[in-house]
Structure 1
Amino acid sequence: MSSTSVIENVIINGTKLYFSISSKQGRRPIILYLHGGPGDACIPLTKKFNSELEDHFIFVNLEQRGSGLSYYKFSPEENLSINTMVEDIHQFVLYLLKRLKQDKLIIMGHSWGTVLGLYFIQMYPDLVTQYIGIGQVVNMKRNIDLQKAFLRTKMKNTAKLDQLNFVHEPTKASLKLTKMIVAYGGSIYGAKNYRKLIWPFISAKDYSFKDLIHRLQGSKQSIQYFWEELMDVNFENIVHFAIPITFCEGRHDHHVSSQLTAEYAAKITSPCKLIWFDHSGHFPQWEEPTKFNQEIIMLLDSQAN
């Protein structure tokens, strides 16, 4: 099944943001997808792997400020923060709801996008019917401890791991740690690289060669500007939400620990569901796309009826 979504753009908070949107619209429920990273814009991936959702929803994938098709060079004068990104999402949501003549939508976030998503639903619950977190971030500092523990079970020689300096170079150390996670199969289940997720970009009609370069530049600058603040994120004390939430977790996710998410889900006192993907790591929406798409369709159909 091929995607029929189209690429559009809109000025939000003074910045031109690009997004894909289902060409079939009508009165379908809206899903707004918030990509990971920071900076990992992914329209070619959702168009390739998640086009089935377009038959049931108005599926929108926003390429965030400075990322992918929305790339521009950040400047220190902007004082960018996680809150900047959440406010972009807020204004974009208001734009979508007005345009599509609806009152609320579904927020779907992946990885870094789950940070933006959980902040958003706390600040603007009246605009959201349901939250879906994929590879949910819970506590970044605890996640680092679990990443190290996973690698110690895989590495014959832990010298490189032991040399990481989290005191003086926390960002550099955590990025190196994440690269090790990928290389030892803790990110994509059964793989030690991201090749599966690279080809859809190279073959994408929506991304020119210049856009591919911009995506790499956008990812690099987003990490530079947001990673330090991301490292302090901890949702563990927030256990009640005004809307139903669902976590979609790869059983083998050691990139953003699914073990942490399962522990967190068990503590949440408001409606919360955890869906496991037994053959996935950090990307169940693209590692097991058929199951993922069907689970989302069933989940939201059951809530609508």
Structure 2
Amino acid sequence: MRRAGRAGAVPALAVAFVLIAGCAWRLAADPPAGPWAVERSWRLRVNGVPEQVWLRGRRAELPLLLVLHGGPGTSEMALFRHFTPGLEEAFLVAHWDQPGTGRSYVSEAFARPLTMEAVLADLHLVVTHLLRATGRTRLVLLGHSWGSALAFQYAQRHPETVALVAGTGQVADMRAGERLSWEYARAQAAQRRATVAQRNLGGIGPPPHTVERMLVARHWVERFGGTFANGMSTGDLVWGALRRPETSLLDLWRFGAGNRRSLAALWPAFAQLDLRQSVPGLEVPVLLLLGRADQVTPAPLAAAYLEQLRAPGKRLVWFERAAHNVPFEQPREFVDALRAGYAALVWQPAHGGPAGAAGL
């Protein structure tokens, strides 16, 4: 891992595992268990859709952080708890299954148009609830892949609620990224004389891709080391999730079904997103945690975006043994970098006390 100045989902986990006004919430809280000072879960009715939120941390005074999972439609709570348990030692961590995803895979999610705007509107209500429930005024947004696109757009609209935006598997220009990703897989296939890959990738042609063609490209990007850089695979993530006590085979089915339907609804607009144009600047500090080998959302595009982004503070950390899934490939280093980035960008500039007393 190398830090580069002050300047960050699993893609679709294949098809098997393949992103307060007028709102009536139904609340159910679990009591704290084990070593956790805070351990709660809620079933919130957000804009008419039942959505699942979890909150857990070692100490109640830790900075509040909301994970925005990738996909679209890939719940990651079980993955973070399995591969990155240290995150809940450093932060009070909230996970939210986005509408139509994981435990939020319900018919109501698809009774309305499932759009990026709808997800962002739901996100605002979830953030508002978490701030009220914890007595905070701001939180950290940690976005993975698709989740990083949500995080940046949300922070642009509601900077008063955000202390820090952190992105990993960071989205920048989706059209350029998809083209580079496909070209990477094609070049690797030619170099390795992988005839099946060459035939598949040539058959789908260059982007723009439908969901089905995008998944073909993603398959070969993973096979050629652009999704995981250390020998991991999507199967390892599925197995890790299933080893969690929170996860059942029914959850796995929900993840797959939600992923497919979310991709069908959200991919066309997501594939056209260019944050360089839509989010040229933010009023909050930004931390990027990038895997050097990421070819799903190519890391050089994200680094270039950060360079041009206007923000009160910027920090870029490179992970040399990771690709698109830094939190699961280099989990200890990921948590250390996130904690250090928070201290440098939020605590030190604005506060004189320990990071946990930053007023979030």
2:136 is matched with: 102
1:162 is matched with: 202
1:268 is matched with: 309
Closer, same or farther: CA 175–74 of 1 in aligned 2, 3 Å: farther
Q: Which amino acid aligns with 2:97?
A: E
**How much does 1:55 deviate?**
2.2
Closer, same or farther: CA 263–71 of 1 in aligned 2, 3 Å: same
Q: 2:81 & 2:49 partners in 1: Cα distance?
A: 24
The aligned length equals 304
Q: 2:46 & 2:109 partners in 1: Cα distance?
A: 17
1:248 is matched with: 289
1:174 is matched with: 214
Residue of 131, 134, 149 corresponding to 1:115: 149
Secondary structure of 1:51's match? Answer: coil
**How much does 1:169 deviate?**
5.8
2:347 is matched with: 304
Q: 2:35 & 2:320 partners in 1: Cα distance?
A: 26
Q: Give the fraction of aligned pairs with identical amino acids, expressed as a percent.
A: 23
CA contact (8 A) 1:35 1:109 kept: yes
Q: 1:167 & 1:253 partners in 2: Cα distance?
A: 18
CA contact (8 A) 2:170 2:290 kept: yes
**How much does 1:129 deviate?**
0.7
Secondary structure of 2:227's match? Answer: coil
Q: 1:230 & 1:31 partners in 2: Cα distance?
A: 24
**How much does 1:115 deviate?**
1.1
2:243 is matched with: 203
My pick for the range that moved more, 235-244 or 122-131, is 235-244
Q: 2:126 & 2:209 partners in 1: Cα distance?
A: 35
Q: 1:115 & 1:182 partners in 2: Cα distance?
A: 21
**How much does 1:151 deviate?**
1.4
2:55 is matched with: 21
TM-score, L = length of structure 1 = 0.93
Secondary structure of 2:172's match? Answer: coil
Secondary structure of 1:249's match? Answer: strand
**How much does 1:263 deviate?**
1.4
How do 1:1-305 and structure 2 match up within 5 A?
Answer: 4=36, 5-73=39-107, 77-155=111-189, 156=193, 157=195, 158-165=198-205, 170-191=210-231, 193-237=233-277, 238-270=279-311, 271-302=313-344, 303-305=346-348
**How much does 1:229 deviate?**
0.9
CA contact (8 A) 2:48 2:108 kept: no
Secondary structure of 2:80's match? Answer: helix
**How much does 1:247 deviate?**
0.8
Q: 1:23 & 1:187 partners in 2: Cα distance?
A: 29
TM-score, L = length of structure 2 = 0.79
**How much does 1:173 deviate?**
1.9
Q: 1:207 & 1:75 partners in 2: Cα distance?
A: 21
CA contact (8 A) 2:65 2:141 kept: yes
Q: 1:3 & 1:159 partners in 2: Cα distance?
A: 53
Closer, same or farther: CA 168–47 of 1 in aligned 2, 3 Å: closer
Structure 2: unaligned runs, 5 residues or longer: 1-33, 349-360
RMSD: 2.0
CA contact (8 A) 1:251 1:277 kept: yes
